[in-house]
Amino acid sequence: MGRAIFTMVGAMTEIERDIIISRVIAGLERAKERGVRLGRPALPQNAVLEIQKLRKKDSLSKIAGQVKLSAGAVARYT
């Protein structure tokens, strides 16, 4: 009896997950149709130029401390 209930609950959660995925995809498509830009905003161009200038003489972690970004973010713009 317990195995049957467990199987039914598993099937219901799988259906619910599929519904959620389809709603998210539909929402993303509607946003793209309206011209909404998705994702994290890019750094201003002056910050990117400063990072590239500092990269010639400093390490990523030093630059990250100076411009108050993570080392990974600084590496993305070098």
Q: Is pLDDT above 90 for 12? A: yes
Predicted pLDDT at 68: 86
CA separation for the pair 68, 71 (Å, rounded): 9
The pLDDT tens digits for 19-60 are: 999 999 999 999 999 999 998 888 888 888 888 888 888 888
**Residue 74 contacts by C-beta under 8 Å, 6 or more apart in sequence?**
51, 55, 60, 63, 64, 67
Q: Is pLDDT above 80 for 1? A: no
- The secondary structure of 1-47 as a DSSP string is -HHHHHHHHHHHHHHHHHHHHHHHHHHHHHHHHTTPPPSPPPPPHHH
